[in-house]
Amino acid sequence: MNVGFISLGCSKNLVDTEIAIGILKNKSYNIVNDPKIADVIVINTCGFIESAKEEAINTILEMAEYKKNRCKVLIAMGCLVERYKKELEKALPEVDLFIKFSEYDNIAEKLEKVLEIKDYNNKYNCLENYIDRVITTGSKTAYLRIAEGCSNRCTYCAIPYIRGPLKSRTMEDILEEAKDLAQKGYEELIIIAQDTTKYGIDLYGEPKLANLLEKLCNINGIRWIRFLYAYPETITDELIQVVKENDKICNYFDIPIQHISTPILKKMNRKSNEESIKKLITKIRKEITNVVLRTSLIVGFPGETNEDFQMLYNFVKWAKFDKLGVFMYSKEDGTPAEKFPNQIHGNTKKSRYNKIMQLQQLISREKLKTRVGNEYEVIVESITFDKKYLIGRTQMDVPEMDGLVYIINKTSKDLINQFIRCKITDIRDYDLIGEIVNE
């Protein structure tokens, strides 16, 4: 039978999807990309913010239309299901099976019960068995999830209620998976968790990300290593030095600071403040040449005054982040901030969002201009329809989050999934234009 998957939300969710694909593939299901030919459609939902919930519901309803033709079973899993399974069962009778996190290892068994197939053996523990997952991010790049859940309890965030407290994987388990990925030809590992810098605290009594990164660098075949979601208060001097001293680790820090106003940070239950954040940024840039800094911000948090926002705007102007994303605050069920007074009007949120993004667009353009004339190693991932440009990424760019490099295609060779040298000749919006060097 053909099974089609749709994965919504973040890269952590994508890893869950890849594991589920692996389980069903090992049960001899045929995995397809086209819902028109799928007998079973599985939607891995996101429930992080309101817009993500709406996208999940709309996707479920869209996929339900295929039950009028070939599709026999529609399955929903993921964060939205974890939080609202009972409500969804009542509201969406089109869905045949809702699967919570604790049931992931039994997805094949549950599907076969729905299909009235009695022979269901070969059960898996989905949260621990990573080796058999099916990578969906190309033949060179793979996400490596090192922990599940989060214990930070930021007042705006529903993740701890959805995925529970921090639960780190053992270092041995992670290294085993990394070696397996390297043997299969994956050369870029993207380390992810809800908060990568807290990795190991629950198992070893102290953060172990720096130590883990050093061990990953020793694996033959791995060319690029990057880690995402590094909270500022646990970026240590040791971690900075490990990045500085190991060529395999990309000079890239993704630091979700959320705000700069100390009163707002306190309301968010964040452990940083304006002084510590500015000190950290200055230190990283001093220690690591050509480091790329990315952050995410929230505007319109309850109680955010014009003065708080102006502080944030001035900070963005000062920090000049290479990459920056902005979210408009979204009230999430069950979070403390949902009940905070002085909720901000939607129009004000939108106005503040626009102001930050317009400022960042100018900063980004100036940053990109400094890349012109430089040479970079680029991983080629695709080609334009007219074949005029190869499309790739440098060490400075995370898939789906950051910009691309459009490389003038003057070769007949198949360079997809190859690493090449590229000289930057121009910029376009958030992307770079380049040409191959020493083909």
> Considering just the CA atoms, what is the radius of gyration of the chain in Å?
22
pTM of the model: 0.86
C-alpha distances in angstroms, 262 versus 100, 157, 198, 307, 395? 37, 18, 22, 12, 33
Domains 264-370 and 375-436 in one fold? no
- Residue 87: is its pLDDT beyond 60? yes
For the chain, which residues make up each domain, given as ranges? Answer: 2-114, 137-250, 264-370, 375-436
Residue percentage of the chain with pLDDT more than 70: 96
Residue 66 near residue 32, CB atoms below 8 Å:
no
The CATH number fitting domain 375-436, selected from 3.40.50.1220, 2.40.50.140, 1.20.1250.20, 3.30.450.40 = 2.40.50.140
Q: What is the pLDDT of residues 257-300, one digit of tens each?
A: 999 999 999 999 999 999 999 999 999 999 998 999 999 999 99
Q: Using N-to-C axis directions, what is the helix angle for 306-319 and 346-369, rounded to 10°?
A: 10
Q: What is the pLDDT of residues 388-400, one digit of tens each?
A: 999 999 999 999 8
pLDDT confidence band for 126 (50 / 70 / 90): very low
Instruction: Round to whole Å and give the CA distance between 17 and 303.
Output: 38
Average pLDDT over residues 201-222: 97
Instruction: Round to whole Å and give the CA distance between 20 and 2.
Output: 14
3-state secondary structure of 225: strand
Q: Which residues pair with 147 in a beta bridge?
A: 168
Q: What is the pLDDT of residues 232-260, one digit of tens each?
A: 999 999 999 999 999 999 999 999 999 99
pLDDT confidence band for 131 (50 / 70 / 90): low
C-alpha distances in angstroms, 222 versus 132, 217, 225, 397? 19, 7, 7, 17
Q: What is the pLDDT of residues 325-367, one digit of tens each?
A: 999 999 998 999 999 999 999 999 999 999 999 999 999 999 9
pLDDT confidence band for 46 (50 / 70 / 90): very high
C-alpha distances in angstroms, 406 versus 312, 384, 401? 33, 9, 16
Parallel, antiparallel or unpaired: strands 419-428 and 375-383: antiparallel
Residues whose CB is less than 8 angstroms from the CB of residue 213 and which lie 6 or more positions away in sequence, other chains included: 191, 225, 227, 239, 242, 243, 246, 249
* Token digits of residue 304: 């955010």
Strand (E) or helix (H) holding 73:
strand 73-78
The reply to whether CATH 3.40.50.12160 applies to domain 2-114 is yes
**DSSP string of 82-113, one letter each residue:** HHHHHHHHHH-TT-SEEE-GGGGGGHHHHHHH
Q: Which residues pair with 424 in a beta bridge?
A: 434
What DSSP state is assigned to residue 65? G
What CA dihedral angle connects 309, 296, 330 and 352, to 10 degrees?
30
Instruction: Round to whole Å and give the CA distance between 379 and 201.
Output: 34
Q: Domain 264-370 belongs to what topology?
A: Transcription Regulator spoIIAA (3.30.750)
pLDDT, position 121: 40
The CATH number fitting domain 137-250, selected from 3.90.650.10, 3.90.226.10, 3.30.750.210, 3.40.718.10 = 3.30.750.210
3-state secondary structure of 375: strand
Average pLDDT over residues 406-416: 89
